Amino acid sequence: MFSEKHKGSRLCPTVYLAGPMAGCPDPNTWRREFKIWAHGFIRCIDPIHDMSEKPMGIEPKGIVVRDHMHATKCDLLYVNFDRATKVSIGTMFEMAWAYHCHIPIVVLCRLSTSFPPVKNDNDHPMTRGCATFWCVTETEAHLAVSLVLRDYLP
């Protein structure tokens, strides 16, 4: 968690933006929107933005090493399961790593508005059990992030 020595300093807390990439219509949209909301007071780590750099030159191992480092060193893991069409194995790993390190996890998983309701396969007792906050609206998720990081925000 964000070190006490940073409390009151100008350093920003770090939030890792986790969520499905494959099977999502546009996995960049919510990340861009979160960065706009967080601009100036939260440092965002975006794994999609980092994909262009080919981590350590070794695709699978490099991605795992990089994502593990970010998920276990961030101050908060923000998970967006909104619009997910299938289970995100990478996000499950990131949640487990963060949970193991006692890093707060805020999950956004909207309720289905279709009839009959479409179940989001990422909504599972294990993911709910790992989440510090399980939110159904973006406003609620942003409030949860602010609550967790309140001592470090302006």
* Omega before residue 116 within 30° of 0, cis: yes
3-state helix, strand, coil in the chain (%, to 5): 45, 15, 40
**Does residue 4 fall inside a structural domain?**
no
The total number of structural domains in the chain stands at: 1
In the predicted model, what is the mean pLDDT of the chain? 84
Share of the chain above pLDDT 70, in %: 79
**Does residue 3 fall inside a structural domain?**
no
Cα separations in angstroms, 35 against 17, 60, 113? 9, 26, 26
Among 9-23, 100-114, 139-153, the least confident range: 9-23
Residue range(s) defining the domain that contains residue 103: 10-152
Q: What's this model's pTM, rounded to 2 decimal places?
A: 0.84
**Does residue 64 fall inside a structural domain?**
yes
Among 3-7, 62-66, 101-105, 116-120, the least confident range: 3-7
Task: Return the closest-CA partner of residue 123 out of 139, 107, 138, 137.
Answer: 107
Looking at per-residue pLDDT, the higher value among 20 and 141 belongs to 141
Task: Return the closest-CA partner of residue 23 out of 76, 69, 82.
Answer: 82
Specify the DSSP element, H or E, that contains 89: helix 89-100
Q: What is the CATH number of the domain that holds 43?
A: 3.40.50.450
pLDDT in tens, 25-82: 677 889 999 999 998 889 999 988 655 555 455 578 888 999 999 999 999 999 999 8
**For residue 119, what pLDDT is reported?**
78
**Does residue 140 fall inside a structural domain?**
yes
**Does residue 27 fall inside a structural domain?**
yes
Residues whose CB falls within 8 Å of the CB of residue 6, separated by 6 or more in sequence, listed in order: 152
**Does residue 53 fall inside a structural domain?**
yes
Which pLDDT band holds residue 7 (cuts at 50, 70, 90)? Answer: very low
Share of the chain above pLDDT 90, in %: 53
**Does residue 5 fall inside a structural domain?**
no
**Does residue 127 fall inside a structural domain?**
yes
